[in-house]
C-alpha cells in the first residue's frame, strides 16, 4: 500500500514497516536535526497536540480538551520564512487567542504568519485523544493531505507518540517527530528504572517488573526485608501519568521475617493511600494486573526536592539537555504536579544536567527521537543532594510549553555552560509556570477580561524588557475556570513574585463584583 493512502486497514506489520520507512527521511522542526548532516527544517509542520495517554488518567483532568491549546507555544516555528503550520484541534480555536499567541513571538510579522497558519478542528469535544478523532474523519485526513503538498518536506509534531500517532503518520505519509511507540516500554516505570540503572543514573531502592497483586505483595515484602529502614513504599502503575497511578503503603506495624507477606496482603486494601483520589483498592489492583508496575522506597528527609530535566534527541542521534526545572507539587503524598520553576537550583543544576544527559544518551541509543523528560527526587544528605531518577516521560511534559513560549517570546535559548536560559543579549530569563490555575470562581471570567486586567496592572509579558506573564489555555476559563501562566523575570525570586501577583489578580477578578486592583 502506498504511504498516505486513505484506507485505514493496513495490517500492524505493514504499518510498522511503513512507519520505519518514513523515519528514514525525518527532518525535525527545529532545524539542523535531520537524519543526515546538513538537513534543513521541513517546510510544513503538522501540529497534533493530542493527549494520547491512559484514558482513566485523562478523565481526572478537568478541561483536558483545552490542553491542546498549549502547543500554540510552537508558533515560533513560523519565524522560518515560507514555513507553514497546520494546527489541528478538537474544537475551533478562538481567533483572539490565536492572535494573542502570535503576538507573543518576537520579531514575527503577525499578519504574514497568520497567512501561513492553517487551523483545522474536529468539532468534537469528547474527552478522548484528538488523534483518534482525526483518524475517524476521512474528510479531515484528506484536508490535511491537501495542505501537505510535498510530504517529503513535512513532519508531524505530536505531544507524544502512540500507535494512534503512528497510524496517523502513515495515513498522511508524513514522518512523526515523537517517540516511536515500539519504544514505549522505556517510558514505563519498570522500563525507566532499568534504563536508568544501565546508564549509571541512580534510582530509588525497589523492585521493577511487578506483574500483578501477588507480585506486589512479594515485592513489598522483599523491599522490607532488604531495607528495614524503609517505612513507606511507593507503588506505581507502569503506564500511569502524572500521579494518577501512584499510591503509598506504610509498613508501620509489619512483622519481620516470614510473616511479612501475609501481613502485607491483609493490610493492603485498608492501608494503601492514593495520590489522586478517589480510587479503591479493587480498581487499582485491577489496573495493576493489566499494566504491571514498580515498588520503590518513599524518599524522605530534612529537605526533599523534585527537579526535572528535558532532553532532546535529534534524528541524527545528537542529545542535548534543553532545560532543567524544579517541579512544584500539591495534594496527597506530594505527588500531584502543579507547575515548575526554571532553571533548577544552581547548587545541583550541573549534576542534574549530567544525569539527564546520561539517560538521554541511553534513550537515543535505543532509537528515541524528540523531547523527553527525566524526573528526579532529590534528598539532601551530609555531603549534598543525592538525586534519584523516578520517571521518564517519552513525550512533551509540563515544562515543554513554558520553554517553547520563552523561545518564542525572547528569541533566546539554553546555555549549555550554565544551564540557564539566556536572551540574545545574554540576560538570564527565569520563569515560574503552571497549567493548573484552577478555581470555580474563575468560571465567571472571560479571556478578554483577564488579558485586559493583566495588561492594566502591568503584568502581561512585554517584549521591550522581556518580563511579564504569558497566558495560555485561556479557552478553558468560561467552562472550567482554568488557565495556564508563565511568569518571566531575571531571577527566580522575581518570577515567583510576578506569578503570585498574577494569581492574586485572578482571585480578585473572580471574587463577587471583582474588577481587580486598580479598577475604576
User: What pLDDT sits at residue 2?
Assistant: 38
Which class in CATH covers the domain with range 12-178? alpha beta
Residue among 145, 169, 142 at smallest CA distance from 370: 169
User: What pLDDT sits at residue 5?
Assistant: 40
Task: Tell me the three-class secondary structure of 427-442, residue by residue.
Answer: CECEEEEEEEEECHHH
How does residue 329 score in pLDDT terms, banded at 50, 70 and 90?
confident
User: What pLDDT sits at residue 256?
Assistant: 80
User: What pLDDT sits at residue 438?
Assistant: 94
User: What pLDDT sits at residue 21?
Assistant: 94
Q: How far does Cα 304 stand from its chain's mean position? A: 22
The chain-wide mean pLDDT, for the chain, equals 91
Task: Outline where 335-422 has alpha helix (H).
Answer: 349-366, 400-410
Cα of first residue to Cα of last residue in the chain, in angstroms, is 66
Residue-wise pLDDT for 241-265, tens only, equals 766 789 999 999 998 878 899 999 9
Q: Is residue 294 within 8 Å of residue 341, measured between CB atoms?
A: no
Residue among 219, 239, 242 at smallest CA distance from 230: 219
- The β-bridge relationship of strands 44-48 and 84-89 is parallel
Residue among 292, 67, 33 at smallest CA distance from 188: 292
The pLDDT > 70 percentage for the chain reads 92
**Cell numbers placing 502:** 498574577
| In the block, residue with C-alpha cell 504536579 | 337
Residue-wise pLDDT for 428-476, tens only, equals 999 999 999 999 999 999 999 999 999 999 999 999 999 999 999 999 9
Q: Is residue 294 within 8 Å of residue 208, measured between CB atoms?
A: yes
How does residue 60 score in pLDDT terms, banded at 50, 70 and 90?
low
**Cell numbers placing 219:** 515485592
Which class in CATH covers the domain with range 185-197+299-397? alpha beta
74/242: higher pLDDT: 74
Q: How far does Cα 474 stand from its chain's mean position? A: 18
Q: How far apart are alpha carbons 470 and 326 in whole angstroms?
A: 19
- The β-bridge relationship of strands 44-48 and 154-158 is parallel
Q: How far apart are alpha carbons 151 and 42 in whole angstroms?
A: 9
Q: What is the pTM of this model?
A: 0.91
Residue-wise pLDDT for 125-158, tens only, equals 988 899 999 999 999 999 999 999 899 999 999 9
How does residue 61 score in pLDDT terms, banded at 50, 70 and 90?
confident
- The β-bridge relationship of strands 293-297 and 319-330 is unpaired
How does residue 1 score in pLDDT terms, banded at 50, 70 and 90?
very low
Contacts of 377 (CB under 8 A, 6+ apart): 204, 299, 304, 305, 306, 387, 388, 390
Same topology, domains 12-178 and 185-197+299-397? Answer is: no
Q: Is residue 52 within 8 Å of residue 64, measured between CB atoms?
A: no
- Given a cut of 90, whether residue 325 has pLDDT beyond it is yes
How does residue 63 score in pLDDT terms, banded at 50, 70 and 90?
confident
Q: How far apart are alpha carbons 333 and 346 in whole angstroms?
A: 26
Sign of CA dihedral 393, 434, 63, 170: negative
3-state SS class at 488: strand
Helix (H) or strand (E) holding 246: strand 246-250
Task: Outline where 272-430 has alpha helix (H).
Answer: 281-291, 349-366, 400-410
Q: How far apart are alpha carbons 105 and 108 in whole angstroms?
A: 6
What are the residue ranges spanned by the domains of the chain?
12-178, 185-197+299-397, 205-297, 399-520
User: What pLDDT sits at residue 7?
Assistant: 44
53/435: higher pLDDT: 435
How does residue 20 score in pLDDT terms, banded at 50, 70 and 90?
very high
Give Rg (Cα) of the chain: 23
User: What pLDDT sits at residue 515?
Assistant: 61
Helix (H) or strand (E) holding 216: helix 213-226
Residue-wise pLDDT for 206-224, tens only, equals 999 999 999 999 999 999 9
Residue among 95, 105, 48 at smallest CA distance from 73: 105
Residue-wise pLDDT for 362-413, tens only, equals 999 999 999 999 999 999 998 899 999 999 999 998 899 999 999 999 999 9
| In the block, residue with C-alpha cell 507539587 | 329
- Given a cut of 80, whether residue 19 has pLDDT beyond it is yes
Segment 182-207 shows an average pLDDT of 97
How does residue 55 score in pLDDT terms, banded at 50, 70 and 90?
low
User: What pLDDT sits at residue 514?
Assistant: 63
Residue among 367, 387, 410 at smallest CA distance from 105: 410
Task: Give 303's Cβ-side CA count (13 Å radius).
Answer: 9
Segment 317-345 shows an average pLDDT of 85
User: What pLDDT sits at residue 3?
Assistant: 39
Segment 55-77 shows an average pLDDT of 83
Sign of CA dihedral 108, 111, 114, 116: negative
Segment 7-14 shows an average pLDDT of 74
How does residue 512 score in pLDDT terms, banded at 50, 70 and 90?
confident
- Dihedral, CA atoms, 194, 312, 51, 443, nearest 10 degrees? 120
Residue 343: asked if its preceding bond is cis (omega within 30°), the reply is: yes
- Given a cut of 70, whether residue 517 has pLDDT beyond it is no
- Given a cut of 70, whether residue 115 has pLDDT beyond it is yes
- Given a cut of 90, whether residue 103 has pLDDT beyond it is yes
Q: How far does Cα 442 stand from its chain's mean position? A: 24
Give 35's DSSP letter: S
Segment 282-289 shows an average pLDDT of 93
Q: How far apart are alpha carbons 492 and 505 in whole angstroms?
A: 20
Give 460's DSSP letter: B
How does residue 106 score in pLDDT terms, banded at 50, 70 and 90?
very high
User: What pLDDT sits at residue 57?
Assistant: 60
- Give the phi and the psi of residue 352 in degrees, each rounded to 5: -60, -45
Q: How far apart are alpha carbons 293 and 236 in whole angstroms?
A: 5
- Given a cut of 60, whether residue 516 has pLDDT beyond it is no
Amino acid at each position: 500500500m502506498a504511504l498516505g493512502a486513505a484506507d485505514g486497514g493496513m495490517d500492524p506489520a505493514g504499518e510498522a514497516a511503513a512507519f520505519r520507512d518514513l523515519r528514514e527521511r525525518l527532518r525535525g522542526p527545529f532545524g539542523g536535526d535531520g537524519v543526515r548532516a546538513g538537513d534543513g527544517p521541513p517546510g510544513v509542520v503538522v501540529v497534533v497536540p493530542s493527549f494520547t495517554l491512559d484514558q482513566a488518567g485523562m478523565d481526572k483532568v478537568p478541561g483536558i480538551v483545552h490542553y491542546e491549546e498549549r502547543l500554540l507555544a510552537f508558533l515560533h516555528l513560523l519565524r522560518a520564512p515560507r514555513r507553514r503550520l497546520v494546527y489541528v484541534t478538537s474544537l475551533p480555536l478562538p481567533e483572539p487567542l490565536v492572535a494573542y499567541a502570535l503576538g507573543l513571538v518576537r520579531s514575527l510579522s503577525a499578519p504574514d504568519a497568520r497567512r501561513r497558519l492553517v487551523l483545522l478542528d474536529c468539532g468534537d469535544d469528547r474527552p478522548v485523544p484528538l488523534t483518534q478523532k482525526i483518524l475517524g474523519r476521512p474528510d479531515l485526513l484528506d484536508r490535511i493531505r491537501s495542505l501537505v503538498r510535498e510530504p517529503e518536506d513535512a513532519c508531524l509534531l505530536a505531544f507524544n507518540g502512540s500507535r494512534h500517532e503512528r497510524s496517523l503518520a502513515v495515513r498522511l505519509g508524513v514522518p512523526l517527530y515523537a517517540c516511536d511507540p515500539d519504544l514505549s516500554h522505556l517510558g514505563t516505570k519498570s522500563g525507566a528504572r532499568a534504563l536508568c540503572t544501565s546508564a549509571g543514573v541512580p534510582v530509588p531502592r525497589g523492585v521493577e517488573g511487578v506483574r500483578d497483586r501477588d507480585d506486589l505483595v512479594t515485592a513489598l515484602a522483599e523491599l522490607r526485608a532488604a531495607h528495614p529502614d524503609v517505612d513507606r513504599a511507593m507503588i506505581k502503575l507502569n503506564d500511569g501519568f502524572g500521579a494518577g497511578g501512584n499510591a503509598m503503603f506504610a509498613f508501620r506495624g509489619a512483622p519481620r521475617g516470614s510473616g511479612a507477606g501475609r501481613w502485607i496482603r491483609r493490610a493492603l486494601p485498608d492501608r494503601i493511600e492514593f495520590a489522586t483520589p478517589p480510587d479503591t483498592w479493587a480498581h487499582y489492583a485491577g489496573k495493576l494486573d493489566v499494566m504491571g508496575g514498580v515498588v520503590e522506597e518513599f524518599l524522605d528527609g530534612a529537605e526533599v526536592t523534585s527537579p526535572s530535566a528535558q532532553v532532546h534527541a535529534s534524528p541524527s542521534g545528537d542529545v542535548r539537555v534543553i532545560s532543567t526545572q524544579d517541579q512544584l507539587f500539591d495534594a496527597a503524598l506530594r505527588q500531584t504536579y502543579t507547575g515548575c520553576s526554571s532553571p533548577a537550583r544552581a547548587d545541583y543544576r550541573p549534576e542534574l544536567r549530567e544525569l539527564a544527559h546520561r539517560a538521554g544518551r541511553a534513550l537515543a541509543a535505543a532509537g528515541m527521537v524528540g523531547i523527553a523528560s527525566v524526573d528526579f527526587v532529590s534528598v539532601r544528605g551530609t555531603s549534598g543532594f543525592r538525586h534519584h531518577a523516578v520517571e521518564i516521560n517519552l513525550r512533551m511534559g509540563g515544562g515543554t510549553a513554558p520553554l517553547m513560549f520563552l523561545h518564542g517570546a525572547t528569541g533566546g535559548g539554553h546555555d549549555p555552560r550554565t544551564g540557564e536560559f539566556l536572551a540574545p543579549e545574554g540576560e538570564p530569563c527565569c520563569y515560574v509556570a503552571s497549567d493548573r490555575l484552577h478555581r470555580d470562581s474563575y468560571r465567571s471570567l472571560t479571556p478578554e477580561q483577564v488579558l485586559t486586567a493583566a495588561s492594566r496592572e502591568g503584568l502581561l509579558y512585554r517584549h521591550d524588557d522581556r518580563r511579564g506573564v504569558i497566558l495560555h489555555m485561556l479557552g478553558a476559563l468560561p467552562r472550567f475556570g482554568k488557565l495556564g501562566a508563565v511568569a518571566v523575570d531575571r531571577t527566580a525570586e522575581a518570577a515567583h513574585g510576578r506569578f503570585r501577583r498574577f494569581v492574586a489578580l485572578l482571585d480578585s477578578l473572580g471574587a463577587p463584583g471583582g474588577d481587580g486592583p486598580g479598577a475604576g
